Chains A and B, each alone.
Chain A
Amino acid sequence: MTGQPVGAVPILQGRLHPLTLVILLVNSIRNFILPAIIVFMVNKSTGGFILLAFLALTVLQTLTRYFTFTYRIEGGELITRHGILERTERHIPLTRVQDLRIEQGVLHRLLKVVDLHVETAGGKGAEASLSVLSRDEAENLRRAVFEQTRTLAQTTGAGASAPLPTPPDEIVRRLSTRELVLAGLTSNRTASALVVVAVAWQLLDDILPKQVYERLLSTVSSNFERWIEHEGHANWIGIAITAMLVIFLGMIFSVAGSIVLFHGFTLSRRGEDLHRAYGLFTRRASSLPRRRIQLLKVEETWLRRVFGLATLRADTAGSQPANPQENRDGRDVLLPVVRREELETVLPVVFPGVESDPSPWRQVSRRAIRRGTLKGALLCGLFAIAALLFERDVFGLWPLVFIPLVYALNVASYRHLGYALSERFFRTRRGWLSRATHLVPIGNAQTIVLKQTPFDRRHGVMTLVVDTAGQAHTGGGPHIRNVPMADAEAVARVLAQRAAQTRYRW
């Protein structure tokens, strides 16, 4: 590795692996096998012809791609080119590479080859897909990209010309199968199934007086009511068993999903780059320079909190908002499950210096409790009115019983609501049952926004929002309500001024 960042001599060049032919063919056959069969069934001779034509076209396409595709790293860029009639040459500056992913499906694993995807900021999806490469080639390419990036950063930054020796991998966290089972059991799917069933059960069985739901049902269907009267009792048991079955199946699916997706999850660090590798059937590996990470979210759903677990999510500037594929691939989480107390050692790996930069949590205005309670109370009141109209009885006021509970909940969540501003980081946390903590390096703040509704103005508070690049997996980034006006303005100014003093690095 020379220290020269720019030069006409390619540092690394190559082409796709010969097995590309096999993989691409299998993929395209898999894609059109079903329509082909249908066509074949409908009309044998025409169907056969269409099938052959498709096959010939696919083979031609595959051959073209294989024989024309070349890549090279040259002058600080990754250059790919392919095509005969329509030549495409793409230059990707290495300093813009956000994320490098290596994926290996079952067939890939049998043939010992991988797909490599290069992502940059702004692009929709992968900027370049090198499919397929041998495992060694992919590893060489990955290494070359990141070493180039490092030398480039070095020469433009400190002006040092000696290349850094590649530091050894440091394993940050491995997940055992036991932890993945736990992750599956405590996943959102299980939680929501549990909640829905529990609430529905509770509501129907305990809270709603018998006459209410009977009247409700009678308006829906008198037939259904008769059915309830005849087989009502047996029916409840049936529903209960079904519900249990649904939960049980949901749990099994979650656990299986968690293991299949994240089997052998390893988060490691090599120098400035974070690596993740995981997957039971399809192996996935991704590398991202840690300075690309825009913000972190520590997510503790209520079910995970019972077990003292949390999820770590991260966004880079390349993160695509609301891409279901990314969630299916497990790209939305940096660490799917981690014990809460371990975060103290994990966070500094992602954001170095965060451990030596503590700051006390500051609370928002106590009026948050009042406003939250008022909102909840209004909702209870509406329910009470509805119930009263149904019941025509004082007992119809039962929803009002929940008002103290609403108050207690608001007090609890107020206690946990807060923000912290330290020398280099801004943190917010919210939620009581389910919690979310956001951590943003101040240098990554793009805009700081303060909003104030007429109600906010009466209470002398504001909502503080910190906008960063790529808020896809972290749920909209840090925003905090009910901050007293003077505090909000002071914090916003400090954030903006500190951000202005740093250079934003992609």
Chain B
Amino acid sequence: MRKTAEPGGADPALVETTDPINQPAPFASFGPAATPDPFTPLDPRVIKLWRLTSLIGLGIPLGGSLIVGLIVGLAAPEVVGWIFLGWSLLAALCGWIIYWYPPRACEAWGYRIDAKVLETRSGIWFRVIKLLPLSRLQHVDLRRGPLERAHGLASLILHTAGTHEATLVIPGLDADEAARLRDRLVAAGGDDAV
């Protein structure tokens, strides 16, 4: 029981196990098991983009805290060493996150289109799989921010009529690939024959 309190540790033996006690009737009634295509990964250039955005996102508060620390240090010179130590640790942690996180986040991301369903997966610790029946697609936005443009990337934002999960974002696509994907999604979603 206490094992559950340990965060993050993925025990491969446990991950694959579905509960043997609770194994109801097999899923035969749900049709044949899906033959999934492999997930399409994001464009690897997104790692650089994410490093840049997290550098900006973390750098601003870090800079701010450095200024605050300096002001406090001027007022009370005896704690300046501690402030510097604390700030360096924080900066080191942020640096490590900027280095470590983006490649893994990129690796965890993937999307595929299978039988008129768009499936995305993402997340390292908190994993999320989203399935969007393409006939539910209301409209698609293609977003290219200044940083994304500089990296030749684009994001697709997919809207449904839903409530809490009404938008689905696929980041880090190659710009041309994003446009192609958008056309493909809209074509599949707008198909009246379903």
- Select one of B14, B18, B131, B161 contacting A493, CB under 8 A: B131
When A493-B117, A499-B135, A502-B135 are in contact, do A470 and B163 touch as well, CB less than 8 Å?
A: yes
When A366-B21, A458-B10, A467-B160 are in contact, do A446 and B15 touch as well, CB less than 8 Å?
A: no
Q: How far is the CB of A104 from chain B (nearest CB, A)?
A: 31
| CB pair A447 B1 closer than 8 Å | no
| CB pair B34 A493 closer than 8 Å | yes
- Select one of B15, B127, B192 contacting A451, CB under 8 A: B127
Stretch at the interface among A236-244, A250-258, A326-334, A479-487: A479-487
Q: For chain B, what secondary structure do more than half of its interface residues adopt (helix, strand, loop), or is it mixed?
A: loop
In this assembly, does B129 line the interface, its C-beta being within 8 Å of a C-beta of chain A?
yes
In this assembly, does B126 line the interface, its C-beta being within 8 Å of a C-beta of chain A?
yes
| CB pair B161 A446 closer than 8 Å | yes
- Select one of A448, A458, A469, A491 contacting B30, CB under 8 A: A491
| CB pair A477 B135 closer than 8 Å | no
| CB pair A364 B128 closer than 8 Å | no
In this assembly, does B37 line the interface, its C-beta being within 8 Å of a C-beta of chain A?
no
Q: How far is the CB of B125 from chain A (nearest CB, A)?
A: 5
Q: How far is the CB of B22 from chain A (nearest CB, A)?
A: 5
When A321-B163, A469-B162 are in contact, do A447 and B136 touch as well, CB less than 8 Å?
A: yes
Question: Complex formed: what's the CA distance from A485 to B18 in Å?
Answer: 7
- Among B17, B18, B19, B24, which residue has the most Cβ atoms of chain A within 10 A? B19
When A360-B25, A494-B30 are in contact, do A454 and B8 touch as well, CB less than 8 Å?
A: yes
Question: Complex formed: what's the CA distance from A187 to B168 in Å?
Answer: 38
Set of chain B residues within 8 Å of A374, measured between Cβ atoms: 1, 4
- Select one of B14, B18, B163 contacting A486, CB under 8 A: B18
Question: Complex formed: what's the CA distance from A312 to B102 in Å?
Answer: 47
| CB pair B128 A451 closer than 8 Å | yes
Q: How far is the CB of B166 from chain A (nearest CB, A)?
A: 7
| CB pair A484 B162 closer than 8 Å | no
Question: Complex formed: what's the CA distance from A503 to B191 in Å?
Answer: 10
When A447-B132, A492-B131 are in contact, do A460 and B21 touch as well, CB less than 8 Å?
A: no
Question: Complex formed: what's the CA distance from A370 to B21 in Å?
Answer: 14
Set of chain A residues within 8 Å of B61, measured between Cβ atoms: none
Set of chain A residues within 8 Å of B165, measured between Cβ atoms: 446-447, 449, 465, 467
In this assembly, does A223 line the interface, its C-beta being within 8 Å of a C-beta of chain B?
no
On chain A, which size bracket covers the interface?
35 or more
| CB pair B4 A484 closer than 8 Å | no
Q: How far is the CB of B19 from chain A (nearest CB, A)?
A: 4
| CB pair A500 B19 closer than 8 Å | no
- Select one of B22, B129, B131, B161 contacting A495, CB under 8 A: B131
Set of chain A residues within 8 Å of B123, measured between Cβ atoms: 452
| CB pair B18 A458 closer than 8 Å | no
| CB pair B22 A365 closer than 8 Å | yes
Set of chain A residues within 8 Å of B117, measured between Cβ atoms: 493, 496-497, 500
| CB pair A467 B115 closer than 8 Å | no
Question: Complex formed: what's the CA distance from A455 to B14 in Å?
Answer: 11
| CB pair B161 A454 closer than 8 Å | no
| CB pair B14 A447 closer than 8 Å | no
| CB pair B126 A487 closer than 8 Å | no
Set of chain B residues within 8 Å of A472, measured between Cβ atoms: 163
| CB pair B9 A458 closer than 8 Å | yes
In this assembly, does B64 line the interface, its C-beta being within 8 Å of a C-beta of chain A?
no
Set of chain A residues within 8 Å of B19, measured between Cβ atoms: 365-367, 460, 484
In this assembly, does B76 line the interface, its C-beta being within 8 Å of a C-beta of chain A?
no
B interface residues, tally (CB under 8 Å) = 51
- Select one of A448, A460, A492 contacting B16, CB under 8 A: A460
In this assembly, does A459 line the interface, its C-beta being within 8 Å of a C-beta of chain B?
yes
Q: How far is the CB of A60 from chain B (nearest CB, A)?
A: 42
| CB pair B31 A458 closer than 8 Å | no
| CB pair B168 A501 closer than 8 Å | no
Set of chain B residues within 8 Å of A469, measured between Cβ atoms: 161-163
Q: How far is the CB of A271 from chain B (nearest CB, A)?
A: 25
- Among A450, A454, A465, A503, which residue has the most Cβ atoms of chain B within 10 A? A454
| CB pair A484 B131 closer than 8 Å | no
Question: Complex formed: what's the CA distance from A269 to B154 in Å?
Answer: 50
Set of chain B residues within 8 Å of A503, measured between Cβ atoms: 135, 192, 194
In this assembly, does B180 line the interface, its C-beta being within 8 Å of a C-beta of chain A?
no
User: Smallest CB-CB separation from B27: which chain A residue?
Assistant: A490
Question: Complex formed: what's the CA distance from A496 to B168 in Å?
Answer: 15
| CB pair B162 A362 closer than 8 Å | no
Set of chain B residues within 8 Å of A497, measured between Cβ atoms: 31, 115-117, 133
In this assembly, does A363 line the interface, its C-beta being within 8 Å of a C-beta of chain B?
yes
| CB pair A446 B160 closer than 8 Å | yes
Question: Complex formed: what's the CA distance from A501 to B127 in Å?
Answer: 27
Question: Complex formed: what's the CA distance from A469 to B134 in Å?
Answer: 15
- Select one of B126, B127, B164 contacting A471, CB under 8 A: B164
User: Smallest CB-CB separation from A499: which chain B residue?
Assistant: B133
Set of chain B residues within 8 Å of A504, measured between Cβ atoms: 135-136, 161
| CB pair A457 B192 closer than 8 Å | no
When A460-B15, A470-B163, A471-B164 are in contact, do A362 and B24 touch as well, CB less than 8 Å?
A: yes
User: Smallest CB-CB separation from B23: which chain A residue?
Assistant: A484
In this assembly, does B11 line the interface, its C-beta being within 8 Å of a C-beta of chain A?
yes
User: Smallest CB-CB separation from B163: which chain A residue?
Assistant: A471
| CB pair A500 B116 closer than 8 Å | yes
In this assembly, does A453 line the interface, its C-beta being within 8 Å of a C-beta of chain B?
yes
| CB pair A457 B160 closer than 8 Å | no
Q: A496-B132, A501-B116 are in contact. List 10 more A-B contacts (CB 8 A).
A: A370-B1, A371-B4, A374-B4, A458-B6, A462-B129, A467-B166, A469-B162, A490-B30, A497-B116, A500-B194
**What are 20 A-B pairs at a CB distance below 8 A?**
A366-B22, A446-B160, A447-B130, A447-B131, A448-B130, A448-B131, A449-B128, A449-B129, A449-B130, A450-B131, A451-B127, A451-B128, A454-B9, A458-B4, A468-B162, A469-B162, A484-B22, A492-B129, A496-B132, A503-B192
Binding site for A on B (CB under 8 A): 1, 3-4, 6-11, 14-19, 21-22, 24-25, 27, 30-31, 33-34, 115-117, 119, 123, 125-136, 160-166, 168, 192, 194
- Nearest first, the 5 A-B pairs at minimum CB distance are A446-B162, A500-B133, A484-B18, A496-B131, A467-B162
